[in-house]
Amino acid sequence: MFAAGLRPRQAEAFEQADALYASAVRRKDGSFGCAVFAEDGRIVCDVPLPDRGHDIAFDPISRRAVAFARRPRTFAVVFDPLSGTIERTLLSPEGRHFFGHGFFSPDGKLLYATENDFADARGLIGVYEVARDFARIGEFTTHGMDTHEALLMPDGETLVVANGGIETHPDYGRQKLNIPTMDPSLVFIDRRTGDLISQHRLPRELHQLSIRHLAIDSRSRVWFGCQYEGASVDAPQLVGFASAENGMQLAELPLDRLVQLSNYVGSVATNRDGSRIALSSPVGGTFLILDAGNAEIIAERKMADGCGLAPSSQGFIATSGEGVLDAIGLKARKASRTIYHFDNHILSLRRSA
């Protein structure tokens, strides 16, 4: 049983919670960790991280999680999300660093991570074999640079990858080196062979629209959120949907909502049945919820430095860099404040997973 052997507090949190959540956090003393918590804010465990983390991967078969470093850091921490026990810490190979995102194969045997080959400015997917103590057994190109989020499509065989198009190098910290010549793209790749299935780009005049974050709706369409690196007075569309066969299409959000987003989408998520899309802008302090069928805005919420999003019983759960944990949906609910400063992403660890 999943909860067997847990300490009373952990077992109680698991048994009473519809889902648990994991997020990279900064603690009040300035140190970094990964917190696992229930929707009402109860903490299950707090795992220390060497530096700032970004996103989490979870394998529902082995019940283990991996917290990835924020670029340009090189660590990924494998841990038990209920006990908080650290299994091991992975390091990216020389000449590579993690981009902060990854996921497991459906059978839990492989871990895929987005990585940067910074000497050659190439985006990569690193492949790690779980049974061999997470040995890195290969890599394949993403046919672009600044490979940020990658997801596994519902067929279990196809990867969809957001190539942000921005060149970076650890020698220059987080400085962006090629803004005038950016080349973002969305690619679909065979996860077993690394073969390119299709690659899609927005119109050339939008080449400074960096594609960053992804979510998949009930129709297997990939929703993408962007961050604009052009003039701040511009207000391009920032979210859209795509498929391997039909390419990319931008949603048409009203200008006043685009202004609220401040040219920055920090996270994208679908609700549990894939009928709603939520997107966040920590820069604009705004969350929007869209109908996945017609891309119409059906709800919005203000939250200072709000970014993290995951599906919940209320629609979505949201977090902020100021430590706020809130349920957002069609009904308002009072937010709670936690002891953490949340990083940009939340992962849902559902009991039914």
pLDDT of residue 209: 98
Mean of per-residue pLDDT scores for the chain = 92
The contacts of residue 168 (CB under 8 Å, 6+ apart) are 71, 72, 116, 118, 146, 174, 175, 176, 177
The contacts of residue 345 (CB under 8 Å, 6+ apart) are 23, 24, 54, 55, 56, 267, 307, 308, 309
pLDDT of residue 339: 82
Q: Domains of the chain: which residue ranges?
A: 8-350
Q: Which residues of the chain have pLDDT under 50?
A: 1-6, 352-353
- What is the rounded CA–CA span in Å between residue 117 and residue 158? 22
- Taking only the tens place, the pLDDT of each residue in 147-165 is 999 999 999 999 999 999 9
Residue 177 main-chain phi, psi, to 5 deg: -100, -10
Residue 9 main-chain phi, psi, to 5 deg: -60, -40
| CA-based max dimension of the chain | 57
- Taking only the tens place, the pLDDT of each residue in 290-331 is 999 999 999 999 999 999 999 998 899 999 998 888 887 655
Topology at the third CATH level for domain 8-350: Methylamine Dehydrogenase; Chain H (2.130.10)
Count Cα atoms within 13 angstroms, Cβ side, for 165: 24
**Dihedral of alpha carbons 162, 46, 306, 230, sign:** negative
Cα 34 to Cα 54, 100, 134, 291, 299, distances in angstroms: 9, 13, 20, 31, 29
- What is the rounded CA–CA span in Å between residue 10 and residue 18? 14
Place of tokens 């060497």: 50
- What is the rounded CA–CA span in Å between residue 140 and residue 125? 5
